[in-house]
Structure 1
Amino acid sequence: MPNLEQLCLENCKGLNNVDPSIGGLKKLTWLNLGGCQNLRSLPSIESLDSIEVPNLNETAIEEPPSSIDHLTGLAELSMRECKNLRSLPTSIWRLKSLQELYLDGCSNLEALPEIMEDVKNVDDLGLAKMATKEFTSSIQHLRVLYLSSCSKLERFYFLKDLFSLVTLDLSNQDLTNGAIPSDL
């Protein structure tokens, strides 16, 4: 299937791995593995550089493959409700095409990877229901930020550095007076 551009394996609950031959699908731009609740890992995906939107929502993945930084066309990465997700590679921030990153409901992901340089491309970030205690303001060009139900996040001092922010969701927080900076 050398011309395959879209592959949908959504809700294949018995799927626990993806055959490495997927790397031969050079024209694949869209991959939907959402709802594959037993899928724990992905093979090396470095040859899938044309992929733009992979849906990994509700999988059992603990971390994306380290080869994710080879996906130069990746515009959106959705890993919502990946309860086993524990970490992301630092290289995620080097994906120059990445504009949207959704990690909502990743309750075991306690922190985003450290940012070594100014991230200018990511403008939509979903972190609702994450276990994060801190948030970095190094993503200064964010336009949309979802932090609803992040019960461990206590301080919001980073908000004053987000000059491009258009949408901010802090719903379902146990906010107290002074939690949000007065110079917002």
Structure 2
Amino acid sequence: METPDFTGMPNLEYLNLSGCASLKEVHHSLGCSRKLISLKLYRCINLERFPCLNVESLEKLCLNRCSSLEKFPEILGRLMPKLDISVGGSEIRSDWPTVLDLSYLDKLVAFPSSIGMLKSLVKLYLSGCSKFESLSEGIGDLENLEELDASYTQISQPPSSIIRLNKLKSLNGGLPEDIGCLSSLKELHLQGNNFEHLPLSIDQLGSLRYLDLSKCRRLKKFLGVNVAEGLRSLENLNLSSCNLKDGGLPEDIGYLSSLKELHLQGNNFEHLPLSIAQLGALQTLHL
């Protein structure tokens, strides 16, 4: 149920515990294994605790099918330039740790602050981690992150440090007040959230192409006055099933000059703003 104490194994390089179905905890002394090259915990389905991990020499980490894991391990040491990460539902291998997929680890609750040490991460997937409650402030140190998917988690709002992710192009789940600082954002997936208003800074997302607000049933109004003008690059807008009434759409919606697809089905308004006639690029309108 627990690994041995690794303190007396300073030269340990390869550790394969794959298929140890009864294993519940990795001993904290593994953090002292500075020469560890490969760690495989594939299908350790009852693994709950994995206190820390030294990544100074690590080239391969496999946590596939660790469906009982409650917390990602604390990261120790300086990350070397080559690391293959294999987690989540399928194997992921790369010359750099560019992808971390923890999707559907439904007992995972949180990340350590040291997650920010994975500087080369480009994609982080947490979709389906139904008990995951919050991202640590360390997320803001992932300077190369381009995609963050936290859909179907307990995260209601990402930490303030997220605005430092100036390469972020796709965000799924959670909405910071100063989201306008994410100037590279091209896709914003917010479907099924419970907020009533969008931050005013959203009009600063000049690169945004895709915005999904479907099933945000508490949303009272999409954008304020003179906000639509800042979203001139928006091509696809989904406001379906938001329970919007007359006045819920901005009168200046015609400023969305790049809009090609507009989903408005499942709402309760009786009239559309007159400026909708100015959407010259519009190809598809769902009512």
TM-score for the superposition, normalised by structure 1: 0.87
Q: Structure 1 segments of 4 or more deviating over 6 A?
A: none
Q: Match for residue 186 of structure 2?
A: 99
DSSP-derived class of the 2:116 partner: helix
Q: Deviations over 1:65-112 (max 9, x none)?
A: 100011111010012xxxxx5xx3232111121111010111x11111
1:32-181 → structure 2 map (5 Å cutoff): 32-44=125-137, 45-79=139-173, 88-106=175-193, 108-115=194-201, 118-130=204-216, 131-136=218-223, 137=228, 138-155=230-247, 156=249, 157-176=251-270, 179-181=271-273
Normalising by structure 2, what TM-score? 0.57
Q: How many residues align?
A: 174
Distance (whole Å) between structure 2 residues aligned to residue 154 and residue 59 of structure 1: 32
Tell me, yes or no, if the aligned pair for 1:132 and 1:153 is still in contact at 8 Å.
no
Shift of 1:162: 1.4
**Partner residue in 2 for 1:18:** 111
Q: For structure 1, which runs of at least 5 residues remain unmatched after alignment?
A: 80-84
Q: Displacement, 1:117?
A: 6.0
Q: Which has the higher contact order (CA 8 A, sep 6+)?
A: 1
Residue 172 of structure 1 deviates from its aligned partner by 1.6
Deviations 1:19-39 (A, max 9, x none): 222111011111110011111
CA distance in structure 1 between the aligned counterparts of 2:245 and 2:232, rounded to whole angstroms: 19
Query: How far did residue 51 of structure 1 move?
Result: 0.6
Gap runs ≥5 in structure 2? 1-54, 56-78, 84-96, 278-287
Q: Distance in 2 between matches of 1:22 and 1:77?
A: 18
Letter in 1 for 2:198: L
Q: Cα RMSD between the aligned structures?
A: 1.8
Aligned partner of 2:42 in structure 1 is: none
Question: Greater Rg, structure 1 or structure 2?
Answer: 2
* Contact in 1 for aligned 2:232/2:256 (Cα 8 Å): yes
One-letter code of the match for 1:39? F
Using the aligned pairs only, state the percent identity.
34
- Cα distance in structure 2, aligned partners of 1:124 and 1:180: 21
